[in-house]
Amino acid sequence: MFDLNRSFDLMLSDRQGKDNVRITRPFRCDNCILCPCMTQSMEIEYPLGNVVGRVEQKLTLFAPSYQVLDSNGEVVFEIDGPSNCCSPCKSCCCGCCVQRNVVFGITDVKSGRQVGSINKEWNGVLRDVVTKGDRFSLDFPMDIDLGMKATLIAATFLIDYLHFEADPGDENTEDNDY
């Protein structure tokens, strides 16, 4: 789905096939050694043409961290991953992420309370080896608006891309879906 050498636009549509949400990730180098200051970001439109939020990767050393911003550029949520795994550098990950559930906590900036989570669920040895599909669950407050919900969905895509997707050169090229 994602190509490391270019930007992407992801369209989410309703049951009638009408595009409702656009998630845009501009091209940015994702190599933490060559480009240590180039953090990843996504912009979310809902409905199309109306920017409702952004997800921005924070520059951290040991634990992945993200900010979720509203349409005014104000930080609404912070998303923090585990400190023992999934560093910002994919090449630095020791492989422990693929052997257990990984939880990224969603914290409300105003209250300082954890209000939800993004969970990468471990599928078991057989499914993780045989298939390339990952399973995520997303819990968020029921009372936030649809734009913020779409932004948190986009954050899930960014976390998957940065921490759980293999680089195209890492796998057998005949079997590569990129």
User: Could you tell me which of 163, 147, 86, 148 has the C-alpha nearest to residue 115?
Assistant: 148
With H, G, I as helix, E, B as strand and everything else as coil, classify residue 132.
Answer: coil
Tokens 């190509």 -> residue: 3
In angstroms, the CA 24 to CA 7 distance is 8
- The pTM of this model reads 0.78
Q: Does the pLDDT value for residue 118 go beyond 80?
A: yes
Contacts of 43 (CB under 8 A, 6+ apart): 23, 24, 26, 51, 53, 54
pLDDT at 34: 52
Instruction: Express each pLDDT in 126-172 by its tens digit.
Output: 555 556 677 899 999 999 999 999 999 999 999 988 887 765 555 54
In angstroms, the CA 2 to CA 22 distance is 15
Reply yes or no: is the peptide bond before residue 36 cis, omega within 30 of 0: no
User: Could you tell me which of 59, 77, 60 has the C-alpha nearest to residue 68?
Assistant: 77
pLDDT at 2: 46
Instruction: Express each pLDDT in 49-59 by its tens digit.
Output: 999 999 999 98
User: Could you tell me which of 59, 25, 57 has the C-alpha nearest to residue 43?
Assistant: 25
Question: Is residue 160 a contact partner of residue 136, using CB atoms and an 8 Å limit?
Answer: yes
